[in-house]
Amino acid sequence: MTAAIEGYLADLDRALRGPRRAKASLLREARDSLVDAAEAYTETGLTPEAAARHAVDDFGDVARIAPDYQAELALAQGRRTALLVFATLIAQPPIWHLVEWIGGEPDPLPGLASFLDTLVSWLGALTIVVTLVVVWTFGTGTRRRGSTRLGGTRLGSTPWRTRLTGLFACAVAVAFSAIGLLLALVGPGTGLLAHARIPLALVFLILPMLLVARDGARCLATARAATTSR
């Protein structure tokens, strides 16, 4: 690969912000396109460096093509965050049912613990449904909306959708962390379970929710980059 192509890809890399794997895939596609174009120019008799410069010129200025690439990264980040929210919430019921079974908790729970347990169950089910809809909008749904195409995907409305997903993920992390900690504090339990409830909540609930909040913040940053690059 020539210096002209390497320099162009380095500039494009610096201009983009988003998930590493998705970003690497986009840069690899750009590199392959540039190399193919340069090889075609070489076959016309140009030197490798001249052919590479022509390929870069044909590909377009980084400032012109970066917005579409950034929108693609915003799409990838939004979908990744929604899937993380889904995976985190879908794993919670079996974990806590196992904890309740091992600890011999009463069913139903008494008092405030019963209300919080019912609340988190309904909120969890609703959030899972919403998350599946969000995943769909970043998959099949995105291909039916918007105005700009890149690689067959419509991206015109991606930044605001990614921003909403980031806000949704942060709200989910805060709400379920707060309810879960409160439930751990007021829940019944004797012996080992009474002492282990908070540590278990920290490991199996708070830590995953911190990861959800981190991805939510990344959604906001990626969406902001997609908006400002246009």
Q: What percent of the chain has pLDDT over 90?
A: 66
Cis peptide bond prior to 108, omega within 30° of 0 = yes
- What is the predicted pLDDT for the residue at 99? 75
Q: How confident is the model at residue 150 (pLDDT cuts 50, 70, 90)?
A: very low
Condensed to tens digits (0 to 9), the pLDDT of residues 42-52 reads 999 999 999 99
Question: Is the pLDDT confidence value at 152 over 50?
Answer: no
Over the chain, what is the mean pLDDT? 86
End-to-end CA distance of the chain, in Å?
A: 29
Question: Is the pLDDT confidence value at 217 over 90?
Answer: yes
- What is the predicted pLDDT for the residue at 189? 60
Tell me the C-alpha to C-alpha distance, in Å, between residue 93 and each of 120, 176, 203: 10, 13, 15
Q: How confident is the model at residue 148 (pLDDT cuts 50, 70, 90)?
A: very low
Amino acid at 12: L
Rounded distance between C-alpha atoms, residue 178 and residue 211, angstroms? 15
Give me the mean pLDDT over the 86-104 stretch: 84
**Long-range contacts from 136-145, C-beta under 8 angstroms, 24+ separation:** 137/161, 138/75, 138/78, 138/79, 138/82, 138/165, 139/79, 142/75
In this structure, what token pair is assigned to residue 160?
Answer: 């605001």
Condensed to tens digits (0 to 9), the pLDDT of residues 100-113 reads 776 666 566 667 88
- What is the predicted pLDDT for the residue at 87? 96
Closest CA to 180 of 98, 103, 105, 89: 89
- What is the predicted pLDDT for the residue at 53? 94
Question: Is the pLDDT confidence value at 143 over 60?
Answer: no
- What is the predicted pLDDT for the residue at 13? 96
Condensed to tens digits (0 to 9), the pLDDT of residues 29-70 reads 999 999 999 999 999 999 999 999 999 999 999 999 999 999
- What is the predicted pLDDT for the residue at 198? 85
Condensed to tens digits (0 to 9), the pLDDT of residues 170-199 reads 999 999 999 999 988 887 665 556 677 888
Where do we find the tokens 């690969």? Answer: 1
- What is the predicted pLDDT for the residue at 21? 93
**Long-range contacts from 4-9, C-beta under 8 angstroms, 24+ separation:** 4/49, 4/52, 4/53, 4/55, 4/56, 5/31, 5/34, 5/35, 5/38, 5/52, 5/55, 5/56, 8/34, 8/56, 8/59, 8/62, 9/34
Q: How many CB atoms lie within 10 A of CB 110?
A: 11
Q: What percent of the chain has pLDDT over 70?
A: 83
SS3 track for 97-137 = HHHHHHHCCCCCCCHHHHHHHHHHHHHHHHHHHHHHHHHHH
CA angle 193, 93, 141 (to 5 degrees): 155
Question: Is the pLDDT confidence value at 151 over 80?
Answer: no
- What is the predicted pLDDT for the residue at 141? 42
